[in-house]
Chains A and B, each alone.
Chain A
Amino acid sequence: MTTATRVLTVDDSPSMRALLNHALSTQGFDVSQAEDGMAALDWLALNEVDVVITDINMPRLDGFGLIERLREGSRHRDRPILVLTTESSEEKKARARAAGATGWIVKPFDPAKLVAAVRRVAH
């Protein structure tokens, strides 16, 4: 029996969440969604996940803060975290990498490439 890869997407835009949900769930992923970094932390405190996909610009707790908080503890130290963002600056990409991100994807995303990346990093 195979178990679906569990993905948490973190994005403050309902439109983007809808696109992500459609792109991933139609490919067999078990998708959960959070609207910002704080909501993601609350959800992750009670649930297990295989891959996190996060936006950068979000209210309350942004993507950088989310990655830093997840890497602080032992539970999510090795969890694959993909950043999916409209940001294209090298400085922000370097910051995400230093915070512990696993990969960087620039919007607008291509559903096939996103799915391939999630499959590649999922343990």
Chain B
Amino acid sequence: MFETRILADGALTPDRITVMQGQAVVSAEARAELSTVLGSCVALCLFDPEARLGGMNHFLLAEPPVNASGDTVDEFYGTYLMELLVNQMLGKGARKSRLKAHLYGGANVNRNMMRIGSANADFARSFVQREGIELVRSDLGGNNARRIDFRPASGQVRCRTVEDRFAPPVQPTTRPEKATGDVELF
């Protein structure tokens, strides 16, 4: 997953970490670069400028079961995935009040997945707003896939449009069987 090369002039290329669907990665390494390619999926990048620490997740939430309340995505699982990223950031020294957010993805690259991509973008935007996290940049929706390169220690983000064929095929993420909210009474 890590990739380091020394160029002819002695400079180091970034340590590139690919963030796959369902993952959340946090780093304070100066050379680290978190990368992902998004079609309908959404990535939230968080950065704490004081702790010089950043993190990225990559998700596409499934629609909730038909008997669930009127949400358009599985908000219970989505909130959990977001909380995992936020908790990783806080665990490494970030403060929630200092967090800056970037949101990317949610494109309508596949006609059949149009609604779920837009719903995921709406969910992510609502989450950031509800949590009181400052949204400094977003590039959501549209019809094109995106490649995101995020340097977590500096907060620099590059968002480029790429051909749809570079976006990995995705299935909306449903809750894993083990994530069933089991209760253990002591």
B183 near A15 (CB under 8 angstroms)? no
Q: Size range of the interface on B?
A: 20 to 34
Q: How far is the CB of A30 from chain B (nearest CB, A)?
A: 20
A106 to B86 alpha-carbon distance, docked (Å): 17
A113 near B79 (CB under 8 angstroms)? no
A40 to B55 alpha-carbon distance, docked (Å): 30
Closest to B184 in A: A104
A15 near B181 (CB under 8 angstroms)? no
Is A86 in contact with chain B by the CB < 8 A criterion?
yes
Q: Size range of the interface on A?
A: 20 to 34
Residues of A within 8 A of B186 (CB): 97, 101-104
A19 to B79 alpha-carbon distance, docked (Å): 9
Interface string of B64-105 (1 = CB under 8 A from A): 000001000001110110111011001100001000000000
Residues of A within 8 A of B (CB): 12-16, 18-19, 22, 57, 59, 82, 86, 93, 97, 101-111, 113-114, 116-117, 120-121
Residues of B within 8 A of A (CB): 69, 75-77, 79-80, 82-84, 86-87, 90-91, 96, 127, 130-132, 175, 179-186
